């Protein structure tokens, strides 16, 4: 009983200090949580990794749809666009402005073809296909460049 009265006496004497310490801890915790959430949207993330066409996300796992397309971006500035068992296109990529990337490849005549990709922080990239005059959405499935049933040559 004496310990309880000592505790209440201590709390009574240091009530303001204890209240301020608790308030500080709550504000600090809220600030850290807010900063962590904000970093998801403001930190620039590297495009390197593997992406799958969004229409095929319902097939995960396994990644085996016959029309499933993948983009792979490696560390050396090379990209690959492929379906299982075969590379469709390969070339180089570079960041041209903020979230915009330019990918370049050679066609069968040896001419350069350039495409634009917009990569946003929500883990999606948007690929504008000049041939089809359409935009295709891809979603990140790995931070590591990965090939499924195909060799990167």
Write down the pLDDT at residue 116: 84
For CA atoms 84, 89, 91, 92, the dihedral sign is: negative
- Tokens representing 112? 């350069």
The two structure tokens encoding residue 128: 């504008």
> What's the pTM value of the predicted model, to 2 decimals?
0.64
pLDDT at 149: 76
Confidence (pLDDT) at 29: 93
The residues of the chain scoring below 70 in pLDDT are 1-2, 40-44, 56-66, 121-122, 151-153
What is the model's pLDDT at position 58?
Answer: 52
Tokens of 122: 């929500």
In this predicted structure, what is the pLDDT of residue 53? 86
CA proximity to 70, closest of 153, 139, 120, 135:
139
**Rounded distance, CA 86 to CA 141, Å?**
19
The pLDDT value recorded for residue 27 is 94
């Amino acid at each position: 009983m004496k310990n309880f009265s000592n505790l209440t006496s201590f709390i009574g004497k240091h009530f303001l200090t204890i209240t301020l310490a608790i308030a500080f801890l709550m504000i600090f915790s809220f600030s850290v949580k807010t900063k962590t959430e904000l970093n998801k949207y403001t930190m620039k993330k590297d495009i390197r990794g593997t992406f799958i066409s969004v229409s095929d996300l319902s097939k995960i796992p396994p990644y085996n749809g016959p029309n499933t397309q993948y983009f792979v971006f490696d560390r050396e500035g090379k990209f690959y666009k492929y379906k299982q068992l075969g590379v469709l296109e390969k070339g180089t990529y570079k960041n041209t402005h903020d979230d915009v990337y330019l990918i370049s490849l050679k066609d069968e005549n040896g001419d350069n073809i350039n495409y634009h990709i917009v990569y946003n922080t929500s883990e999606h990239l948007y690929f504008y296909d000049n041939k089809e005059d359409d935009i295709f959405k891809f979603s990140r499935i790995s931070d590591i460049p990965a090939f499924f049933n195909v060799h990167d040559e």
